[in-house]
Structure 1
Amino acid sequence: MPAVNKKLQTRANQVCKCFEVSQDLILRGVDYFIDSCERGLETDDDPTALMMIPTYVTSIPTGHEQGVLLAVDLGGTNFRVVSVTLKGDHTFSLVQAKSPIPLDMMSGTSAMLFQWMSEKIDKFLKTHHSDSLKEGNNFKMGFTFSFPVKQKSLNSGTLTRWTKGFDVSDCVGKDVVALLQEHLDALKVPVTVGALANDTVGTLLARSYTGANKEGETIIGCIFGTGTNGAYAEDVSKIKKLPEDVRKHLKEAGVTQMVINTEWGSFDNQMKILPNTKWDQVVDKNSSNPGVHIFEKRVSGLYMGETLRVVLFDLWKEGLLFKDYATEEALPHRLTTPFNLDTEAMSLFEIDDSTGLKASELKLQQMLRLPTTTEERLVIQQLTRAIAHRSAYLAAIPISALLMKVGAFDGHHVEVDVGADGSVVEFYPGYRTMMRDAVSLTQLGPKGERRLHINISKDGSSVGAALCALSEE
């Protein structure tokens, strides 16, 4: 394979160095994350703190729960309707229908979005549960809503802001459960929305159900996919911002823990710790929510590919790549259009060992209509690896911080389980290994890393939402 010319290689090395994550940054990041958690548990009035949203989920599954329940999941790119059969032996079966969310629904009105969702639920029931419909059964449903909400009970939650490219402005400040129920009722769909669950909460509950302490107690549910977030169970006594009447009620009921949705995608929006390269600044500017979700923009799948695209475009402007294109107008428009290079393509670039990186050549042609030389593809692979490595190393910060915060490794011979879902953590080559490497550099050290198990919690958001609905009974 030919060598890369010295000028281009020198510049590529400089760019990659900008994406390096030092051990010092990781250590400071863990300390600051814990501090941000503590402040977020005290009050909602500190803009520098994590949101630390109380979910009103107060029980973790044992694996013995049984029943047939519905769940819907409004996530990053798809809307899923699922019926879950919990078998009571840590296993479940499910039937699902997945629909890509039309772009006009992501930026239209709340009536458009929730009407569309209700129609999909109605169609699912008629297709898969026609007998139950004929018998007049009413279905209980959990609603996984993967966006920041302020919950006041298990089955109500007010949207605080959109993420992941959504911008349905008239929905902000409204109860999303009430909106969905209203449109279901209007269509006469016999469904009661019994619980609202964030996808990370669902992942925590689903992994707790299936894991059954095989590799230690499940402490964290997390998502590393289109977006990133995490949830864990916190002592009620430490959730100082809970209303006094709620705290009193929980105490009288003997409830000692509540699941917290950290909303860690917003960690360090002020960038006291996180890196902020000039390419990160362009990615932020091109996003639908500039200035917020700064951690997510350095870690999640929605932004990794965009970061690579921005870097490649910058190297073209420096006259180092794609030299056949003299003007920006001449460049393939997909290279100059934000969010046209996805993380799935980076997965291929990461491990491409074909002669002349031919597989990458085909992918770049297909995705961006961009012809490349072998030399350019070698640099693209190098940049891909640097951006993915940074993502995985930063991803270790919240996981390590929460494990430290709850004292997960207190005592001897303790094994700890983390349930993870999302395309990046599941499919990106070597991502979990890189995360573990970074965990060993934190205050937990190599010993903590060895006792940590990060397991994929498949279908976590859907099954977890169903478990939320079950717990409400």
Structure 2
Amino acid sequence: CVVVQLLGLGLCRMQSSLQPLCLSLETLRRVKDRMLEAMERGLSHRTHTQATVRMLPTFIRATPDGTGKGQAVGARALRQHSRAWSWQGGRLGSGRGATSALLIPSLAPQLFAFMATCLCEFLDGLRTRQTDFELGFSFPFSCRQTRLDQGYLISWTKGFKCPGVEGRDVVELLQSAINKQAVIAVVNDTTGTMMSCDASAGPCEVGLVVDAGTNSCFMAEARHVEVVEESDGRMGVVTEWGSFGDNGALNDVLSPYDHQVDQGSLNPGKQRFEKMIGGLYLGEIVRHILVELFSGHTTPALLTKGLVQTQDILEITDEQVGLATAQRVLRALGLEASDQDCFSMQQVCSAVCLRAAGLCAAGLAAILSHMCRNRELPCLKTSVAVDGALWAQHPRWWLRSSWLGPLAPECEVTLVQSDDGSGKGIAMVAAVASRLAAQRLQVNQTLALLQLSPDALGKVQALLRREMELGLKKETHAMSSVRMLPTYICATPDGSERGDFLALDLGGTNFRVLLVKVHSREQGGVQILSEVYSIPPNVAQGPGTQLFDHIVECIVDFQTKQGMMGHTLPLGFTFSFPCQQTSLDQVRGRGDRRC
């Protein structure tokens, strides 16, 4: 074993090496703005296919409201194990099956058969007489969803490389492995995190996962999710922001260490944002920084990929055990370090984690600002459910939540640690889907009396036509319920009309006087000057002569203001009440004669 002793890392050298990781607030604002732009491209039907931030719809239309009842089951595929949960009346139970025997890569039938076996073993352990359950499935990889219960895998991430799954419906694959179990929902782990929030704590419409990778989701206004047909209410959207920057949008933020980590990854050039935040990559970033700091004095262990673990980084940043852990890690790398070197190692780990936290805050601020703007709110108040080992184990992540203030000043946000988010959330998605289905059934049953069949509509059409014919005939006009009153208008405009006209419009509690100037298109087309006059209640309810005297006073006032006194113009009068016309310019009122 080659042992290299450090002589203490100089302050200037340390600052120079860590400078690429120091992101100012202004830089984070630029990252936020670029994320917003990328999100808009992902939501737009025109640019969705070229977007780096995919903004995938989940077809989840509501978050839990606290009324969930019954029993549901959730299953989740994880990197090193699979899990199953039961949800019954607010109580959550869970089980786990280790997948160490199912090494990656494996074939699709093996992967889903293993999950089905774990689920069956879990259900056997529930000791319940119930044989039918609603099942939610958390699948933490990029999927193109076409329904709540249908999702096609776009690509593997987080080290998974299982042949035969990409491009296929993962629900169908799991369904074929669970012959008797209906899967009613497939869920991304971020969605499960959002859905796990306690409804009594207020609205929680954002989910954030910071673990081996990173992702987020939120409840968007459905009308802005152009890739789906739904336009009413809200729609859950998974951002898939890990691929943000794959088009070069983060080139001025990426450090030399990020480029080295990317080149050594399974997917160079992909998931650039995730590779600066996810726990799967932070250890490698730290290792490359150490190689830079120890330039010329490295060891075989230090040059070996994967020997610096994210868990070690989290412990090194801890104020109590950090220096001792730093010494242990440095020695494992073949480095005999002084106290100063251990302190420098702690600074490196803190810088890497704080940059990741700042970038995560910028992305979250983009989501919050998007929600606030599209809902046309002066201030957005919501909770953000957070899950993942990095957040749970690294206290500095919580400190970075204070960055949301300057990055999204129009939002009031509460960060909530998710309680077994992916587990409870998966089951809650199934429960909410069941609740909404029951509500839809109840609404459909209530509205069934209002639904008319084609035969019924045909009968209405025939009856209306008969009444119209009775109203048009002189002999039967008086007995018709459809009056069919003549207007004595014998033609519609043909475009040759020219001149100035005075128009009166009486309807409701206001009265309008208009001067309409009709010219050719070349001369400016139609120009309208108007003024609104109120009709006092005593006039509206008084004798007819008083009403029309008031109308004349308004006309005189308008003519005076327009300099039209002494001019003679054709006059049209809109009178929005039932009238019996005897000619184009003569009517008799029907109903209350005083009005």
TM-score (norm. length: structure 1): 0.84
Letter aligned with residue 371 of structure 2 = V
Which whole-Å CA distance do the structure 1 matches of 2:386 and 2:422 have between them? 10
Check if 1:201 corresponds to 2:191.
yes
- Please tell me the residue identity of whatever aligns with 2:28: I
Q: Is the 8 A contact 1:349 1:360 kept in 2?
A: yes
Q: Secondary structure at the match of 2:103?
A: helix
Which residue of the partner structure matches residue 40 of structure 2?
38
Q: One-letter code of the match for 1:342?
A: Q
SS of aligned partner of 2:17: helix
Which range is displaced more, 105-114 or 15-24?
A: 105-114
Residue 289 (structure 2) aligned to one of 311, 326, 335: 311
Letter in structure 1 aligned against 2:431: L
Q: Which amino acid aligns with 2:195?
A: L
The one of the two structures with greater contact order (alpha-carbon pairs below 8 A, sep at least 6) is: 1
Question: Superposed, which structure 2 residues align to 1:20-169 within 5 Å?
Answer: 20-43=22-45, 45-85=48-88, 87=89, 92-102=90-100, 105-126=103-124, 128-132=125-129, 137-169=131-163
1:235 and 2:210 are equivalent in the alignment: no
- Deviation digits for residues 150-184 of structure 1, max 9, x if unmatched? 11111111000011110113211111111111122
How many Å separate the matches in 2 of 1:39 and 1:283?
A: 28
Is residue 301 from structure 1 mapped to residue 279 from structure 2 by the alignment?
Answer: yes
Alignment of 1:278 onto 2:256: yes
Structure 1 residue 414 displacement after superposition: 5.7
* Percentage of identical aligned residues: 26
Give the Cα–Cα distance (whole angstroms) in 2 for the partners of residues 337 and 6 of structure 1: 23
Is 2:383 the counterpart of 1:389? no
Shift of 1:231: 0.7
| Matching residue within 355, 360, 372 for 2:337 | 372
How many residues align? The count is 426
1:6-47 CA deviation, whole Å, 9 max, x = no partner?
764322211111101122211111111111111111136543
Question: Which runs of structure 1 show a deviation greater than 4 angstroms over 4 or more consecutive aligned residues?
Answer: 4-7, 367-371, 408-414
**Could you tell me which residue of structure 1 aligns to residue 17 of structure 2?**
15
Output the CA distance in 2 between the equivalents of 1:414 and 1:114: 41
The 1:35–1:411 alpha-carbon spacing in structure 2 relative to 1, beyond 3 Å, is: closer
1:301-335 deviation per Cα after TM superposition (whole angstroms, max 9, x unaligned) = 1111221122223333x13xxx4x6xx5xx33xx3
Query: Structure 1 residues 100, 435: closer, same or farther in 2, change over 3 A?
Result: farther
Q: Deviations over 1:57-116 (max 9, x none)?
A: 11221012112211111134432111122x3xxxx3222223444385321211121122
**Separation in 2 of the partners of 1:470 and 1:24?**
43
Name the amino acid aligned to 1:421: D
Query: Contact (CA 8 Å) 2:87, 2:428: kept in 1 or not?
Result: no
SS of residue in 1 equivalent to 2:64: coil
Match of 1:263 among 240, 253, 273: 240
Q: Which residue of 1 aligns with 2:592?
A: none
For residues 73 and 345 of structure 1, do their structure 2 counterparts lie closer, same or farther at Cα, with a shift above 3 Å needed? same
Contact 1:80-1:96 at 8 Å conserved across structures: yes
CA distance in structure 1 between the partners assigned to 2:128 and 2:275 by the alignment: 46
Q: Is the 8 A contact 2:354 2:396 kept in 1?
A: no
Partner of 2:212: 226
Distance 2:283 2:101 in 1: 19
1:179 and 1:149 map into 2 onto residues whose CA distance is: 14
Q: Deviations over 1:359-396 (max 9, x none)?
A: 4323555x657653323212211100110110010011
Distance 1:411 1:39, change over 3 A: closer
Change (3 A) 1:369 1:459: farther
Any conservation in 1 of the 2:218–2:238 contact (CA below 8 Å)? yes
Q: Distance in 2 between matches of 1:293 and 1:155?
A: 26
- Give the C-alpha shift of residue 456 in structure 1: 0.7
Match of 2:310 among 330, 343, 350: 343
Alignment deviations for residues 260-298 of structure 1 (CA, whole Å, 9 cap, x no partner): 111111112123235211111111122222211111100
Matches within 5 A, 1:179-198: 179-185=173-179, 190-198=180-188
* 1:212-223 correspondence runs (5 A): 212=200, 214=201, 216-223=202-209
Asked whether the equivalents of residues 352 and 359 of structure 1 are also in contact (C-alpha less than 8 Å), the reply is no
Partner of 1:463: 424
- Cα gap change, 1:414 to 1:17, in 2 (>3 Å): same
Question: Residues 347 and 429 of structure 1 are in contact (CA less than 8 Å); yes or no, is this contact kept in structure 2?
Answer: no
| SS state at 2:74 partner | strand
Alpha-carbon deviation of 1:120? 1.3
Instruction: For residue 406 of structure 2, give the secondary structure of its aligned residue in structure 1.
Output: coil
Q: CA deviation at 1:431?
A: 0.9
Q: Quick one: structure 1 residues 416 and 311, their matched pair in 2 at CA, closer, same or farther if it must change by over 3 Å?
A: same
Q: SS of the counterpart of 1:15?
A: helix
Change (3 A) 1:380 1:66: same
SS at match of 1:150: strand
Q: CA RMSD in A?
A: 2.4
Q: Are the structure 2 counterparts of residues 388 and 103 from structure 1 closer, same or farther at C-alpha, using a change threshold of 3 Å?
A: farther
1:453 aligns with 2:414: yes
Query: Which ranges of structure 2 fall in alignment gaps of 5 or more residues?
Result: 1-5, 435-595
Aligned residue identity for 2:70: G
Task: State the distance in 2 between where 1:184 and 1:105 align.
Answer: 21
Shift of the 314–82 alpha-carbon distance from structure 1 to 2, 3 Å rule, reads: same
Shift of 1:411: 5.5
Whether the 8 Å contact between 2:64 and 2:199 is mirrored in structure 1 is: no
- Per-residue CA deviations over 1:213-236 (Å, capped at 9, x if unaligned) read x3x522311111111111111111
Secondary structure of 2:182's aligned partner? strand
Please report how far the alpha carbon of residue 352 of structure 1 lies from its aligned counterpart in structure 2 after TM superposition: 3.7
